[in-house]
Amino acid sequence: MVILGVDPGTLITGYGVIETRGTGIRVIICDAITNDSATAMPERLKLIHDILSSVIDRFHPDELALETAFYGKNAQSALKLGHARGVAMLAAVNHGIPTYEYSPREVKKAIVGTGTASKQQVQYMIKSLLHMKESPKRYDVTDALAVAVCHMHRRLVKRSNGTFKSWKTFLSAHPEKVLSPFRS
């Protein structure tokens, strides 16, 4: 399965494409779409849409995982974030890709084990989980990969047809689900 994770923003949108095969996982590509603050909003949104559409055309993800809006900021920031989320969803829908959303708290809990994890903790765990030699330079890229991994974890739990109270109980019941790096 190929999953495109997106951390939307009108100035910086992080994205990452991961592939899962059996219990293996690998990063196909990860990067950030950067916009200049002097650029008009419609042009920023077009760039986000165009690049995400290009990534979808190139890597053919099966699903898109997206971080939901964080409402702790002011209303103007939430509105702008909503625009970026909308064009990411539009790119997916135009390509017939199902879209799933996760809150920042859900993502942090899935990756680090606590919903209050710092950006540095998420970055460290993503580097470790995905067997990356270096951490992505931007937290937006790390967050996009984290959303994709969170979605992958959710799919594994749903597919197990069981209900588990924690990741620990799930993994002890399914040791075969522990991820390992791809072997080419």
Instruction: For CA atoms 29, 177, 119, 11, give the dihedral sign.
Output: positive
Taking only the tens place, the pLDDT of each residue in 74-117 is 788 888 889 999 999 999 999 999 999 999 999 999 999 999 99
Report which of 137, 145, 131, 65 is spatially closest to residue 97, judged by C-alpha positions. Answer: 65
Give the chain's largest Cα–Cα span: 53
- What is the pLDDT confidence band of residue 37, given thresholds at 50, 70 and 90? very high
Specify the DSSP class assigned to residue 137. Answer: S
Taking only the tens place, the pLDDT of each residue in 60-86 is 999 999 988 766 667 888 888 899 999
- What is the pLDDT confidence band of residue 180, given thresholds at 50, 70 and 90? low
User: Catalytic amino acids?
Assistant: 7, 67, 140
**Half-sphere exposure of 155 toward its Cβ, with a 13 Å CA cutoff?**
20
Total residue length of the chain? 184
Phi, psi dihedrals of residue 28, rounded to the nearest 5°: -85, -50
Q: Residue 14: which CATH number?
A: 3.30.420.10
- What is the pLDDT confidence band of residue 167, given thresholds at 50, 70 and 90? low
Report which of 58, 39, 40 is spatially closest to residue 50, judged by C-alpha positions. Answer: 58
Domain boundaries, position 124: 2-181
**pLDDT of amino acid 182:** 60
Residues 6 or more apart from 152 whose CB is under 8 A from it?
1, 3, 18, 20, 25
Domain count, the chain: 1
